[in-house]
């Protein structure tokens, strides 16, 4: 039975976790993001959909300041993203990110991958960081792999380690940039299950994905983007059954 | 777009000392200032030290008599220090040029030998490579020198082939082919032939593409050049009329005041900067409006401007540079003029046999033959063998880098062995081979400086003698560095040019 | 020689693939396929065989020629190795040699580095060595009949042993042994022969050649035997403690790194060195900065330091710069600047107790090294000598000293340059590019001449630099440019994803570089870096031109000028060539092995 509890939650009183106001970004001549305005509430799960090249990855990376937006404001957990040295570090340790290509550190064991940032950014003692890491590996279901190197694991296992690595920083927001796109079909489920569990635990999440099932099941809201613009925003039922915009309809007809 | 930007509050700026961009630039400029400061400090320190030790400085030694003779070169008793250095440079180029040619030939052979199916050939090549490249070049040069020193002295009738090829402790002497008076006119004919050959080649290639027959374009193009070369033997005096033209060009250039060159150089620098900034600026214009320049971009523009100003300052403060450009160009065309004297009808090439003479108490090789002195032979052997061993590895690596699938694909479409090599293996291997090959040529050029150990008069050896005589160490070293830097830059830009071309062809 | 654990699994838990068995080919077929497959190939084979024959014969003729004076290098072997190191202090040289061998033995065991040789392969090798020795006797020109017979007989022994072993072992025998054992056995044989064969029969007393008990064999047989025992003992000690001592590799690496400093300063230095100034000034300054600075950094690296810490670091920086305006020892100023730099970066390394301890430890290490450097180059009668003073040790020792110090110091500088060149900050990039390309554009010899002549002039009053450190500084600057290019290749091979992942975790740029980028980049750059280390070793011979007494200088200029061996240049040169060759060849073989091993591990 799918968990549909979240879909009818009233989040209007919840705190704003991510606020984007009129965000623009260009790559030379090409405008990657135009006038993005959106808000993500605490504990909300937002899924960003859209054809490839629609700017959804760029947006999510701007939220983590891996890319710099050129105008507008992005406010994450009350802190505005600017060139301020201090804010960048602060935001990054508040926001966890999971990449399409996992990006585990190949020269470190799984355990070292997870404990690296807690030790050096959160300044946790080694023993505590390792204990925490083992708990997280337990949660993502691969405690026995702690001493392996990433190269010795399957893609699904690597992505679960990547999630554990991001969680080890105890972030308040998790960003997922197409976490299942580089996986073989039989491994997608194990990663999605971990993400569903995370959503149920009340984590604020922003997910870029092509997994429509996941979007329908877990999302509180769906944002549809095309050509760097937000085309439509709505609840999953509304979005999948009764979309307003023609572009959304076209997109849905192509993928469903 | 502007409308939407005004709707929202503008991006807030953090205080300066916490702005990542500002902090980065401050750190960079600070480092730059420290480095420049240290350099300035060292230079002033050097000046005071030199003054304290009573050592004079200045480039006047270039104009005065150096007071020593050179062991070999185009001018063994140079009149000025500058001339001596020039002879050293020519000597360096001589050995670099022949060294590159022979090292490439030997290296390619050995590299192919290492891939040979013949066990004996493969083993000999491997032993050659593993021995030669693991012994320092200097050790080799000194060893070859020691061996040559122990050979037979120069005598009448010395062998192995007396009168044709003689190997002695003073070096090797062999027949010489040289450019005679008619050479330059003849070269023009050959040049014309090359242009015609290019058209022939294009034409034959087009014809092959149209008809599908193998029209042998390369073969015909070569034939054209050879035909022009032969024809040139008969008609080359016709081109004597070029002489006055070159003379005219020389006079025009000679009349240019250095100030004009300075202005032109400054204008060039300014244009380059302006073009760069405009392009950079334009890259922000898009169909959807202007992108915002980040602080980084502004800093870039500022530094491009400063760079342009620096170039201009150098040009203004160093008028000698502009004068030198004018004079050397003028001299070059004057030289060409003298080589194209009207009605000069002589063979373009000539040859002479080596011999042994005894002008006084000592026997020596006659100047007729092409003589490799002991020092030249030692350095030559050293750099050729040493570089060849590295080139062999590059060739081998390049050919091995062609994926097996490529060869299988070639077999599958039925290419012959020669076609496979010509169209599949070599083009792909060449792309891998070229960059490291260029590096090896650069290394060879730099390695010729080891000639100082056996007394070959290259630039470093001449320079050392010069500063030992005149005490102008800093100046000589500056000349060394400038010379070798420009040689390196020149060689590497040639290699880069080919590299870029090959990559373009690839697409 | 089998391992206590399964022989196919190395210490890193990586599985070594068994080599596929070679199919047996009858000799006739092999010869046809490999030598006479086509007419062209047959011609090539004949030509090359003739070439090999002529070359070998010429070479042997040279080696065994009657006018060869091999006693020149043999008698002067000590010159080649250490130049004129005082006789009565020679125990220091042996101690150094023993130290290096002990470390080598331990490391071989710790890394389990020695390759393994199959029994059949070994038998084949023995047979071919025998054949080669016998052929020498048969082919060499100008050799007496009894001499030829000797060679043939000596060659026959390993040849027969090898062939018999091949007959006994069946084709699929997979047993093998450590190559280390084989090498030790061979070396042991040579060393044992010293006890019976009097190599290097000439010695000089009052300028006259005499044959007496002071031959090379007589004077070295005991120390060399001890050295052999040292390396064997070290190897077995290493093997025994390896399972119980987890940090063995790290500790050994550290000792290797410190060895050049320890050995040159404490062991090989001038025996009559007066350490008064050292004790009264240099060591107290170093200690003060190491301890006082360590305490400051301990406080600053506390997680609670925050804003106050930054202000304190800025104050230290200002003070450090102010020290240049006051009369003060240069070393104090340098140390103060270093302290300021460390203080500024302390927030990056702040963290748990162990992280802070490591940071302070790193600081102390850095201060010790820098102070050592300044002292060593500035103080009379350390191993580096004075501008005018005597140098204790030369020859191969000097070659190795120059090489190792150059490598140690070029490494951090080169890595910094590579980082600057790949950085996003334009001025850093332009500066390092200019530096790298300038250095790569000029020949090494001009760099050496510049630093030998000019460096002393560039220094302010009160600072001196001896010739050897001056040359080493130049060599470091030169090598670092090439090293930077090698490291840059590694840095560029690291994907953007790694940077992004590190940034997304909130690591600072310094942390990202030290913990994520560099470890991966350096692993990729190992093969070119080893190649460069070999180059550094070989090209150190260029110091001959500025008149340092390295191996080549002794072989070329010193031995041929000793009375009794006047003009004997080619023989010592050949010995020097062989030493260089052996060093470079073994290093390159070892690096190829490491490369294969790493390639296997990455999959």
Asked whether residue C49 is domain-assigned, the answer is no
Residue B289: CA count within 13 A, CB half-sphere? 13
How far from the centroid of its chain's Cα atoms is residue C372's Cα?
21
Residue in B134, B442, B478 to test binding to C, most C beta-carbons within 10 Å: B134
Question: Quick check: A5 pLDDT over 60?
Answer: no
Per-residue pLDDT at B467: 85
CB contact under 8 A, B4 and A22: yes
Per-residue pLDDT at B475: 84
Q: Report how many domains make up chain C.
A: 3
Question: Quick check: C3 pLDDT over 50?
Answer: no
Bridge partners (DSSP) listed for residue B356: B365
* Stretch (H or E) spanning B100: helix B81-114
**Torsion sign (Cα): B257, B263, B268, B271:** negative
Question: Quick check: B271 pLDDT over 80?
Answer: yes
CB contact under 8 A, C431 and B140: no
Q: Is B349 helix (H, G, I), strand (E, B) or coil?
A: strand
What confidence tier does C377 reach under pLDDT thresholds 50, 70, 90?
Answer: low
Question: Quick check: C384 pLDDT over 60?
Answer: no
Per-residue pLDDT at C214: 53
Question: Quick check: B164 pLDDT over 50?
Answer: yes
Question: Quick check: C13 pLDDT over 60?
Answer: no
User: Span B41-57, mean pLDDT?
Assistant: 80
- Alpha-carbon Rg for chain C, nearest whole angstrom, is 28
Residue C403 shares a structural domain with residue C493? yes
Query: B145 to chain C: nearest residue by CA?
Result: C570
- CB burial readout C324-358, b (16+ within 10 A) else e: eeeeeeebebbbbbbbbebbbbbbbbbbbeebbee
Instruction: Specify the range with the lowest mean pLDDT, choosing from B453-467, C225-239, C461-475.
Output: C461-475
- Contact residues, chain B, for C572 at CB < 8 Å: none
Residue in C413, C443, C572 to test binding to B, most B beta-carbons within 10 Å: C443
Whole-number Å distance between alpha carbons of C66 and B422: 53
User: Span C466-491, mean pLDDT?
Assistant: 89
If you average pLDDT over every residue of chain B, what do you get? Answer: 82
What pLDDT, in 10s, does the model give residues C69-87?
777 777 777 778 877 777 7
User: Span A195-218, mean pLDDT?
Assistant: 88
Q: Does A93 touch chain C (CB under 8 A)?
A: yes
> From its phi and psi, is residue B289 left (phi > 0), alpha (psi between -120 and 50) or beta?
left
Which of C267, C295, C311 is the last residue before a domain boundary?
Answer: C267
Per-residue pLDDT at C6: 37
Per-residue pLDDT at B386: 95
What confidence tier does B11 reach under pLDDT thresholds 50, 70, 90?
Answer: low
Per-residue pLDDT at C11: 38
Cβ B291 vs Cβ A28: under 8 Å: yes
Q: Does B22 touch chain A (CB under 8 A)?
A: yes
Residue C491 shares a structural domain with residue C558? yes
Higher-pLDDT residue of B160 and B271 is B271
| Nearest CB to B21; choose among A29, A72, A83 | A83
Asked whether residue C598 is domain-assigned, the answer is yes
Q: Does B21 touch chain A (CB under 8 A)?
A: yes
Locate C194 and state its tokens.
């010293």
Question: Quick check: C350 pLDDT over 80?
Answer: no
Per-residue pLDDT at C465: 75
Residue C208: CB partners within 8 Å, gap ≥ 6? Answer: C564
Q: Does B48 touch chain C (CB under 8 A)?
A: no
Q: Does C318 touch chain B (CB under 8 A)?
A: no
CB contact under 8 A, C41 and B117: yes
Packed helices C395-422 and C526-539: angle between N→C axes, nearest 10 degrees = 140
Candidates A82, A78, A36; CA nearest to A60 is A36
Whole-number Å distance between alpha carbons of B42 and C459: 7
Task: List B residues 252-291 in contact with A (Cβ-Cβ < 8 A).
Answer: 283-288, 291
CB contact under 8 A, B138 and C427: no
Highest-scoring range by mean pLDDT, A29-33, B3-7, C355-359, C398-402: C398-402
CB contact under 8 A, B5 and A30: no
Whole-number Å distance between alpha carbons of C63 and C56: 10
**CA distances for C521 relative to B502, C488, C516, C581, angstroms:** 29, 8, 9, 29
If you average pLDDT over every residue of chain C, what do you get? Answer: 80
CB contact under 8 A, B288 and A31: yes
Residue C59: CB partners within 8 Å, gap ≥ 6? Answer: none
CA distance B373 to chain C (A): 20
Asked whether residue C54 is domain-assigned, the answer is no
Whole-number Å distance between alpha carbons of B391 and B112: 11
Length of chain B: 507
CB atoms under 10 Å from CB of A246, counted, come to: 9
Locate C330 and state its tokens.
């240069």
Q: Map tokens 């030249």 to a residue.
A: B376
What confidence tier does A81 reach under pLDDT thresholds 50, 70, 90?
Answer: confident
User: What ipTM did this prediction achieve?
Assistant: 0.88
Locate B219 and state its tokens.
């073969």
CB contact under 8 A, C351 and A99: no
Per-residue pLDDT at C43: 86
Per-residue pLDDT at B73: 77
Per-residue pLDDT at C10: 38
Burial of B249 (0-12, 13-18, 19+ CB in 10 A): middle
Residue C300 shares a structural domain with residue C200? no
Per-residue pLDDT at C215: 62
Q: Map tokens 């300066």 to a residue.
A: B16
What pLDDT, in 10s, does the model give residues C317-342?
888 888 777 777 777 888 888 888 88
What pLDDT, in 10s, does the model give residues B398-448?
888 888 888 888 888 878 777 787 788 888 888 888 888 888 898 999 999
Residue C219: CB partners within 8 Å, gap ≥ 6? Answer: none
CB contact under 8 A, B45 and C576: no
CB contact under 8 A, B45 and C428: no
Question: Quick check: C200 pLDDT over 60?
Answer: no
- Contact residues, chain A, for C307 at CB < 8 Å: none
Per-residue pLDDT at C542: 92
Highest-scoring range by mean pLDDT, B63-67, B91-95, B362-366: B91-95
Candidates B361, B373, B352; CA nearest to B173 is B373
Whole-number Å distance between alpha carbons of A19 and C501: 23
Residue C395 shares a structural domain with residue C358? no
Locate B177 and state its tokens.
């082919």
User: Span C226-238, mean pLDDT?
Assistant: 89
Question: Quick check: C205 pLDDT over 70?
Answer: no
What confidence tier does B17 reach under pLDDT thresholds 50, 70, 90?
Answer: low
- CB burial readout C516-526, b (16+ within 10 A) else e: bbbebbbebbe
Candidates B102, B100, B104, B128; CA nearest to B114 is B128
Asked whether residue C13 is domain-assigned, the answer is no
What confidence tier does B102 reach under pLDDT thresholds 50, 70, 90?
Answer: very high
Per-residue pLDDT at B285: 67
What confidence tier does C18 reach under pLDDT thresholds 50, 70, 90?
Answer: very low
CB contact under 8 A, A119 and C352: yes
CA distance B19 to chain A (A): 5
Residue C165 shares a structural domain with residue C258? yes
Whole-number Å distance between alpha carbons of A158 and A145: 10
Residue C365 shares a structural domain with residue C438? no
Asked whether residue C323 is domain-assigned, the answer is yes
How many contacts, defined by CB atoms under 8 Å, are there between B and C?
Answer: 148
Q: Does B120 touch chain C (CB under 8 A)?
A: yes
CB contact under 8 A, C520 and A119: no
Question: Quick check: B351 pLDDT over 70?
Answer: yes
The model carries a pTM of: 0.82
Locate C407 and state its tokens.
């490598």
What confidence tier does C407 reach under pLDDT thresholds 50, 70, 90?
Answer: very high
Whole-number Å distance between alpha carbons of A193 and C589: 50
Whole-number Å distance between alpha carbons of C601 and C581: 30
Locate C387 and state its tokens.
């501008």
Asked whether residue C48 is domain-assigned, the answer is no
CB contact under 8 A, B485 and C443: no
Whole-number Å distance between alpha carbons of A69 and A58: 9
**CATH number of C601's domain:** 1.10.3720.10
CB contact under 8 A, A116 and C505: yes
User: Span B249-275, mean pLDDT?
Assistant: 86
Asked whether residue C434 is domain-assigned, the answer is yes
Whole-number Å distance between alpha carbons of C227 and C583: 19
Whole-number Å distance between alpha carbons of C168 and A49: 73
| Nearest CB to C442; choose among B32, B118, B485 | B485
Packed helices C444-453 and C467-492: angle between N→C axes, nearest 10 degrees = 140
Per-residue pLDDT at B5: 39
Whole-number Å distance between alpha carbons of C203 and C185: 30
Locate A100 and state its tokens.
């399409």
Whole-number Å distance between alpha carbons of B366 and B358: 9
What pLDDT, in 10s, does the model give residues B444-464?
999 999 989 888 888 999 998
User: Span C281-303, mean pLDDT?
Assistant: 83
- Domain ranges in chain B? 1-55, 62-173+372-501, 184-339
- Contact residues, chain B, for A87 at CB < 8 Å: 14
Candidates B384, B352, B358, B389; CA nearest to B371 is B352
Whole-number Å distance between alpha carbons of B295 and B282: 17
**Contacts from C150-155 at CB under 8 Å and sequence distance 24+?**
C155/C129, C155/C130, C155/C131
Cβ C47 vs Cβ C35: under 8 Å: no
What pLDDT, in 10s, does the model give residues B303-312?
788 888 888 8
Task: List B residues 334-393 in contact with C (Cβ-Cβ < 8 A).
Answer: none
Asked whether residue C9 is domain-assigned, the answer is no
Highest-scoring range by mean pLDDT, B4-13, B498-507, C294-303: C294-303
Backbone angles phi, psi at A73, to 5 degrees: -125, 145
Per-residue pLDDT at C477: 94
Which of C324, C346, C380 is the last residue before a domain boundary?
Answer: C380
Whole-number Å distance between alpha carbons of B138 and C548: 14
Which of C349, C380, C411 is the last residue before a domain boundary?
Answer: C380
Question: Quick check: B391 pLDDT over 60?
Answer: yes
Beta-sheet pairing, A221-226 with A45-49: parallel
CATH number for the region B62-173+372-501 comes to 1.10.3720.10
CB contact under 8 A, A70 and B22: no
Backbone angles phi, psi at C15, to 5 degrees: -95, 130
Instruction: Specify the range with the lowest mean pLDDT, choosing from A181-195, B353-367, B458-472, C541-555.
Output: B353-367
Query: B13 to chain A: nearest residue by CA?
Result: A82
Query: B21 to chain A: nearest residue by CA?
Result: A83
What pLDDT, in 10s, does the model give residues A15-66?
888 898 888 888 777 788 888 888 888 888 999 988 888 888 899 988 888 8
The percent of residues above 90 in pLDDT, for chain B, comes to 12
Cβ C137 vs Cβ C147: under 8 Å: yes
Backbone angles phi, psi at B423, to 5 degrees: -100, -25
Candidates B321, B344, B301, B348; CA nearest to B258 is B321
| Nearest CB to B32; choose among C37, C427, C440 | C427
CA distance B501 to chain A (A): 27
Domain span including residue C507: 64-85+391-603
Residue C349: CA count within 13 A, CB half-sphere? 23
What confidence tier does A207 reach under pLDDT thresholds 50, 70, 90?
Answer: very high
On the question of a cis peptide bond just before residue B160, with omega within 30 degrees of 0, the verdict is yes
User: Span A128-135, mean pLDDT?
Assistant: 91
Question: Quick check: B6 pLDDT over 60?
Answer: no
């Amino acid at each position: 039975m799918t968990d549909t509890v979240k879909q009818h939650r009233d989040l209007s009183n919840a705190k704003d976790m991510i606020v984007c106001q009129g965000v623009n970004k260009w790559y030379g001549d090409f405008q990657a993001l135009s006038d993005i305005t959106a808000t993500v509430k605490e504990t909300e799960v937002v899924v960003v959909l859209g054809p490839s090249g629609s700017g959804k990855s760029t947006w999510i990376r701007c939220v983590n300041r891996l890319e710099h937006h050129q105008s507008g404001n992005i406010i994450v957990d009350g802190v505005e993203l600017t060139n301020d040295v201090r804010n960048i570090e602060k935001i990054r340790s508040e926001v966890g990110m999971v990449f399409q290509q996992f990006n585990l550190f190949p020269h470190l064991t799984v355990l070292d991958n997870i404990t690296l940032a807690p030790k050096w950014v959160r300044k946790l003692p080694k023993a505590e960081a390792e204990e925490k890491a083992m708990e997280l590996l337990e949660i993502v279901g691969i405690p026995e792999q702690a001493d392996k190197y990433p190269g010795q694991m399957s893609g699904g296992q690597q992505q679960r380690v990547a999630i554990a690595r991001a969680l080890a920083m105890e972030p308040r927001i998790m960003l997922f940039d197409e976490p299942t796109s580089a996986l073989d079909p039989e491994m997608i489920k194990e990663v999605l299950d971990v993400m569903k569990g995370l959503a149920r635990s009340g984590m604020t999440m922003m997910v870029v994905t092509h997994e429509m099932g996941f979007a329908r099941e877990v999302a509180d809201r769906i944002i549809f983007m095309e050509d760097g613009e937000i085309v439509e925003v709505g609840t999953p039922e509304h979005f999948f059954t009764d979309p307003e915009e023609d572009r959304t309809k076209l997109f849905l007809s192509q993928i469903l | 777009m502007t409308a939407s930007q005004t709707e929202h509050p503008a991006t807030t700026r953090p205080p300066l000392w916490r702005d990542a961009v500002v902090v980065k630039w401050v750190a960079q400029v600070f480092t730059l200032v420290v480095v420049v400061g240290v350099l300035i400090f060292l230079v002033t320190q050097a000046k005071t030290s030199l003054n304290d030790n009573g050592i004079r400085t200045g480039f006047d030694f270039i104009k005065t008599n150096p007071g020593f003779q050179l062991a070999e070169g185009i001018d063994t008793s140079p009149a000025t220090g500058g001339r001596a250095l020039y002879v050293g440079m020519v000597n360096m180029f001589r050995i670099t040029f022949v060294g590159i040619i022979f090292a490439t030939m030997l290296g390619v052979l050995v590299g192919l030998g290492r891939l040979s199916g013949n066990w004996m050939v493969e083993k000999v090549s491997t032993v050659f490579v593993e021995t030669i490249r693991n012994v320092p070049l200097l050790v080799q040069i000194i060893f070859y020198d020691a061996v040559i020193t122990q050979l037979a002295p120069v005598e009448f009738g010395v062998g192995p082939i007396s009168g044709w090829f003689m190997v002695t402790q003073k070096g090797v002497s062999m027949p010489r082919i040289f450019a005679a008076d008619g050479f330059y006119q003849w070269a023009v004919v050959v040049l014309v032939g090359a242009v015609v050959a290019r058209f022939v080649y294009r034409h034959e290639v087009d014809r092959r593409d149209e008809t599908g027959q193998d029209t042998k374009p390369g073969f015909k193009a070569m034939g054209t050049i050879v035909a022009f070369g032969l024809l040139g033997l008969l008609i080359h005096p016709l081109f004597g009329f070029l002489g006055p033209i070159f003379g005219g060009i020389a006079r025009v250039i000679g009349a240019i005041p250095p100030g004009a060159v300075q202005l032109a150089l400054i204008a060039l620098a300014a244009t380059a900067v302006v073009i760069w900034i405009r392009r950079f600026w334009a890259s922000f214009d898009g169909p959807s409006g202007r992108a915002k320049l980040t602080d980084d971009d502004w800093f870039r523009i500022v530094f491009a401007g400063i760079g342009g100003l620096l170039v201009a300052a150098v040009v203004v403060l160093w008028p000698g540079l502009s004068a030198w450009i004018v004079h050397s160009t003028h001299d070059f065309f004057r030289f060409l003029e003298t080589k194209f004297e009207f009605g000069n009808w002589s063979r373009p090439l000539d040859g002479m046999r080596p011999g042994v003479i005894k002008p006084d108490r000592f026997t020596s090789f006659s100047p007729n033959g092409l003589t490799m002195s002991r020092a030249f032979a030692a350095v030559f052997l050293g750099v050729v063998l040493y570089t060849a061993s590295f080139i062999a590895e590059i060739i081998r690596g390049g050919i091995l880098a062609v994926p097996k699938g490529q060869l299988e694909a070639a077999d599958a479409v039925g290419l012959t062995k020669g076609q496979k090599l010509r169209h599949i293996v070599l083009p792909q291997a060449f792309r891998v081979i070229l960059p490291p090959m260029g590096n090896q040529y650069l290394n060879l050029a730099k390695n010729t400086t080891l000639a100082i150990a056996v007394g070959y008069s290259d630039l470093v050896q001449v320079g050392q003698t010069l500063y030992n005589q005149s005490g102008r160490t800093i100046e000589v070293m500056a000349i060394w560095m400038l010379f070798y830097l420009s040689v390196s830059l020149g060689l590497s830009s040639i290699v880069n040019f080919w590299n870029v071309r090959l990559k373009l062809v690839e697409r | 020689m089998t391992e206590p654990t399964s022989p196919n699994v190395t210490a890193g838990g990586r599985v070594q693939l068994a080599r596929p068995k070679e199919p047996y080919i009858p000799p006739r077929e092999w010869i046809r396929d490999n030598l006479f497959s086509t007419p062209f190939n047959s011609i090539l084979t004949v030509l090359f065989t003739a070439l090999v024959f002529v070359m070998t014969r010429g070479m042997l003729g040279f080696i065994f020629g009657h006018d060869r004076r091999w006693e020149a290098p043999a008698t002067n072997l000590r010159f080649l190795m250490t130049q004129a190191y005082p006789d009565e202090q020679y125990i220091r040289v042996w101690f150094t040699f023993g130290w290096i061998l002990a470390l080598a033995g331990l490391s071989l065991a710790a890394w389990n580095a020695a390759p393994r040789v199959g029994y059949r392969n070994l038998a084949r090798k023995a047979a071919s060595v025998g054949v080669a020795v016998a052929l020498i006797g048969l082919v060499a020109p100008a050799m007496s009949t009894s001499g030829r017979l000797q060679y043939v007989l000596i060659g026959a022994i390993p040849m027969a042993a090898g062939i018999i072993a091949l007959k006994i072992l069946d084709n699929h025998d997979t047993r093998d042994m450590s190559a280390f054992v084989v090498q030790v056995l061979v070396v042991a044989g040579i060393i044992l022969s010293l006890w019976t064969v009097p190599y290097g029969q000439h010695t000089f007393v009052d300028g006259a050649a005499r044959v007496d008990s002071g031959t090379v064999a007589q004077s070295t047989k005991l120390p060399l035997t001890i050295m052999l025992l040292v390396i064997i003992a070290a190897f077995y000690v290493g093997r025994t403690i390896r399972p119980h001592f987890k940090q063995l590799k790290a500790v050994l690496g550290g000792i290797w790194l410190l060895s050049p400093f320890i050995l040159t300063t404490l062991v090989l230095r001038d025996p009559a060195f007066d350490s008064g100034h050292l004790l009264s000034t240099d060591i107290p300054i170093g200690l003060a900065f190491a301890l006082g600075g360590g305490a400051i950094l301990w406080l600053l690296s506390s997680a609670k330091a925050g804003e106050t810490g930054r202000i304190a670091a800025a104050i230290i920086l200002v003070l450090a710069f102010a020290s240049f305006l006051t009369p003060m020892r240069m070393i104090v100023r340098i140390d103060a600047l270093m302290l300021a730099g460390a203080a500024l970066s302390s927030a990056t390394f702040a963290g748990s107790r162990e992280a802070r301890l490591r940071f302070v430890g790193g600081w102390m290490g850095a201060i010790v090294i820098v102070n050592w450097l300044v002292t060593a180059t500035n103080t009379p009668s350390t191993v580096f000598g004075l501008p005018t003073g005597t140098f204790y040790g030369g020859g191969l020792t000097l070659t190795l000293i120059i090489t190792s110090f150059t490598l140690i110091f070029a490494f951090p500088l080169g890595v910094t340059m590579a980082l600057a060149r790949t950085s996003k900050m334009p001025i850093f990039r332009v500066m390092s590019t200019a530096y790298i390309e300038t250095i790569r554009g000029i020949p090494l010899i001009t760099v050496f001449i510049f630093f030998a002549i000019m460096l002393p002039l560039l220094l302010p009053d009160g600072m001196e630099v001896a010739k050897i450190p001056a040359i080493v500084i130049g060599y470091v600057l030169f090598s670092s440019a090439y090293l930077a290019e090698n490291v840059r290749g590694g840095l560029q091979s690291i994907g953007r994803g790694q940077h992004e992942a590190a940034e997304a975790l909130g690591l600072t740029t310094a942390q990202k570089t030290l913990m994520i980028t560099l470890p991966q980049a350096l692993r990729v750059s190992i093969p070119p870096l080893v190649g460069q280390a070999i180059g550094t070793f070989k090209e150190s011979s260029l110091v001959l031109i500025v008149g340092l007494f390295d191996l080549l200088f002794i072989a070329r200029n010193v031995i041929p000028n000793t009375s009794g061996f006047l003009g004997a240049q080619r023989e010592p040169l050949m010995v020097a060539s062989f030493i260089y060759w052996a060093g470079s060849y073994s290093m390159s073989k070892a690096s190829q092995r490491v490369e294969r091993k790493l390639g296997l591990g990455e999959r």
